[in-house]
Structure 1
Amino acid sequence: MILRLLLVGIVFFVIELYAFQAIRTVIKLRWLLTSYQIISLLLFVFILYSFTQFDRSVGQTKQTMITMGLLLLVYVPKIVLTIVLLGEDIFRVGAGAVNYFIDNNSDSGIIPSRRKFVSQIGLGLAAIPFLSLIYGITVGRYNYKVIKQAIYFPDLPDEFDGFTITQISDVHSGSFDNPEKINYAIDLVNEQNSDLILFTGDIVNTHAKEMHPWLATFNRIKPHEFGKYSVLGNHDYGEYVTWSTQIDKDENFDAIKNLYGQIGFKLLLNEHTFIQKGAAKIALVGVENWGHNFKQAGDLDKASKGLVKEDFKILMSHDPSHWDHVVQHDQKHFQLTLSGHTHGMQFGIEIPGYFKWSLAQYVYKQWAGLYSNLGRYVYVNRGFGFHAYPGRVGIMPEITVIQLKKGEKTA
């Protein structure tokens, strides 16, 4: 433990040292440099103190979210500076060695001095994540986007050609602090006028009480002709806090399951139902959370008992790793899976139709949007809310509208 703390301390010291060197190239007034050092020290102490006050019996609070936001806002730009200047130092040492040993010139063998323009480039690059993180906290986290996606199936019953589904996921109601923005998002949901609405889990961060101030707001989601259905997400199980007793944990879990009903959604717990339209029907299958690295309460066999390969099936499974490791290989052929969970890590770059990147892609093969394999599709919703970092940069909160289409997609 002591060795780990020492290592962390050394890393932060190096980051602060390099950041100060860059700042010193553009700020010459001593009192400004002293002010920078004092502010940096105070921020470090505040962040360190806030993390030591984390109460695992309570879990995430507004204070922990502020701390995480501040940590990223302060240190991500400084890490960028460190990388730039460290790269220059490697070059300087290399250039000095070449001059000394190859040119055999002892005068030029001294390590070259740091170049001011490199520090300025580093500061310019550091400004990008700094401003982006500020935007993510002040604007991005409530910058809702409606994303429409048509998916083609040759075995879709004719009656369901053009059928629309609105999907929301990862509400994380304990993080909300702006009723006006949430009401706006609910209006967007209602404006889609879809045939069916599905909610793929994580109604809270941990505690059922987090949702209580928002029940009336989410009850504004209007009835949909073919129903409102939901499944559980990993956060709905209360796994990330320490409970005083198992009874308390169980009672909270029961209360969370009841929340879905309180906002008008039918919770599917390893079971399925049928959506009937005219003489045709499709199976809607809902599993509990199944994650490759998270809780595995989902039972696909139980949820789909009695269904056969020829049935057209829509599966709700919160974690897309379930599709990657299990669902896409299942012999029952689940045509469409709807997931969430990743949030796209709430940080990335998206240019629709051209480019998509996030750290999430190094953890999940399917992390945002539509993916397919052998006629099986999974759509990963980017999430309605936010968690841990109180913002979104590049990966915006999403309301998905999926249209089922009969046939093969044409170019």
Structure 2
Amino acid sequence: MLFRLLFFVLFVGIIEVYAFQAFKTISRVKWVQYTYILLSVAILIYIIYSFTQFDRRVGQTQQSLFTLGLLLITVIPKIILTLFMFGEDFYRVISGLISHFFVSGENSSFLPQRRKFVSQVALGIAAVPFLSLLYGVTKGKYNFKVIKQILFFPDLPEGFDGTTITHISDIHSGSFDDAEKIKYAVDLINEQKSDVILFTGDIVNTHATEMQQWTEMFKGIYNPKFGKYSVLGNHDYGEYIDWPTQKAKDENFEAIKDLHQQIDFKLLLNEHVKIKSGSDEIAIVGVENWGHNFKKVGDLNKASDGLSVNDFKILMSHDPSHWEYEVKNNQKHFHLTLSGHTHGMQFGIEIPGIIKWSPVQYVYKQWAGLYENLGRYIYVNRGFGFHAYPGRVGIWPEITVIELKKGEKVV
């Protein structure tokens, strides 16, 4: 613990010194420099104080969300400044050594002065993540996008040709702070007028009570002809706080499961249902959470018991690693898997057809959007809500609409 504290102090000290060096080269006005120092110290004191107040019996709160957001907004740009300024110091030392040993003259200085343009470039580049992160916490976290996808299946039953699915995931209701924006998102869901609505878990951050003020709003999601179905995510099990008793944890878990009924979703707990269109039917299979690095209570065999390889199956499984390790090559042939969980890390760059990048891709092979293996698909929703960092940059909150079509995809 002491080592971590010393490392943190050293790390913060280095980046603060270098950031100030960059700032000082563009402003020689003393009161401006002193204001910068006082503001930096005040922010640092607030961040340290807020983290010392974090209670593992409570978990994430609006204060902890704000504090983490403030930390990222202030520290990441300063890290970029530090890299530039440290690089310039390396150049200055090398130049100084060359001057000292190879350049004669009494007036030659060992270390050349800092170059103002380097600081200006560093500040300009650091402004990009600063403004992006600031936008992420003020606007980006509610910048809902409807993403539409058409999938072709040769063995899709005729009665379901053209069927549409609205897929949402990772509500994380305990993080919300703007009822108007959430109402707007629910209206977006309703505007899609899909035939079935599927929700793939994480209705809360930890506590069932987080959803209380939002229940009526989410109950307002219309009831489509094939119904509304849901599964649990890793956060729904209350694993990330210290509970006073096992009984309290169990009661919270039961209350979370009841939330799905309160918003008129049929919660599937390692089970399946069949929806019918005329004489045709498809299976909606729902497993509890199964994550390669998270809680493993999902039971695919139990959930699909009684289904054959010939049944058309849509699987809801919160964590996309489940598809990678158990689903994609399963002999029962799950045609389409719907997941969430990753949030796309709430940070990345996506320009359709050009670039799709997020740090989370180094942890999850399937982290956002559509993936295919031997005619079996997984779609990873980027998430409805947000968690930990109270914002989104480049990876926007998503409402997915998938249309099922019978036949082969025309290339």
TM-score when normalising by structure 1: 0.97
Aligned to 1:122: 122
Amino acid at match of 2:93: V
For 2:193, the aligned partner's letter is N
- What SS is found at the alignment partner of 1:150? strand
Name the stretch that deviates more: 245-254 or 303-312.
Answer: 303-312
In the TM superposition, residue 308 of structure 1 has moved relative to its aligned partner by: 1.9
What is the Cα deviation at residue 100 of structure 1?
A: 5.5
Q: Aligned pair 1:105/2:94, yes or no? A: no
1:97–1:109 Cα contact (<8 Å) kept: no
Number of the residue aligned with 1:201: 201
Structure 2: distance between partners of 1:265 and 1:347: 30
Question: Structure 1 residue 94: deviation in Å?
Answer: 3.6
Q: Distance in 2 between matches of 1:332 and 1:109?
A: 75
Question: What amino acid is aligned across from residue 17 of structure 1 in structure 2?
Answer: V
Per-residue Cα deviation, 1:105-138 (whole angstroms, up to 9, x for no partner): 3667934332111110110011111111111111
Partner of 2:69 in structure 1? 69
How do 1:165-184 and structure 2 match up within 5 A? Answer: 165-184=165-184
Contact 1:286 1:315 (8 Å CA) reproduced:
yes
CA distance in 2, matches of 1:15, 1:209: 40
Contact 1:98 1:109 in 2 (8 A): no
The alpha carbon displacement at 1:329 in A equals 2.1
- Tell me by how many angstroms 1:311 deviates: 1.5
Per the alignment, do residues 300 and 113 of structure 1 end up closer, same or farther by CA in structure 2, a change over 3 Å counting?
Answer: same
User: Aligned with 2:384: secondary structure?
Assistant: coil
1:62 CA drift (Å): 0.6
Relative to structure 2, which stretch is displaced further, 136-145 or 85-94?
Answer: 85-94
Aligned position for 2:291: 291
Write out per-residue CA displacement over residues 138-189 of structure 1, whole angstroms, 9 at most, x where no aligned residue: 1111111100011111221222111100001100111111111111111100
Partner of 1:147: 147
Which residue number in structure 1 is paired with residue 358 of structure 2? 358
CA contact (8 A) 1:335 1:376 kept: yes
The residue type equivalent to 2:53 in the other structure is Q
Gaps (5+ residues) in structure 1?
none
- Deviations 1:223-261, CA, capped at 9 Å, x for gaps: 110010000001100001100000000000000000001
Higher alpha-carbon deviation: 346-355 or 178-187 = 346-355
| Aligned twin of 2:376 | 376
Post-superposition Cα deviations, 1:65-117, rounded to whole Å, max 9, x if no partner, equal 1101110111111111111222222333344445566xx33667934332111
Partner of 2:338: 338
3-state SS, counterpart of residue 297 of structure 2: coil
Partner Cα distance (2:129, 2:214) in 1: 32
Equivalences for residues 23-62 of structure 1 within 5 A: 23-62=23-62
Q: CA separation in 1, counterparts of 2:345 and 2:61?
A: 19
Q: 1:113 to 1:272 in 2, by over 3 A?
A: same
Residue 397 of structure 1: aligned partner: 397
Gaps of 5+ in 2: none
For 1:83, the equivalent position in structure 2 comes to: 83
Q: Which amino acid aligns with 1:345?
A: M
How big is each residue's C-alpha offset from its partner over 1:34-66, in whole Å with a ceiling of 9 and x where there is no partner?
111111111101100100110000000011011
The match for 1:221 is 221
Q: What's the secondary structure of 1:326's corresponding residue?
A: helix
Q: Following the alignment from structure 2 to structure 1, what is the Cα–Cα distance between the partners of residues 100 and 378?
A: 59
The answer to whether residue 401 in structure 2 is matched with residue 410 in structure 1 is: no
SS state at 1:404 partner:
strand
Aligned to 1:234: 234
1:272-315 deviation digits (Å, cap 9, x = unpaired):
11111111111111000011111111111111112222211110
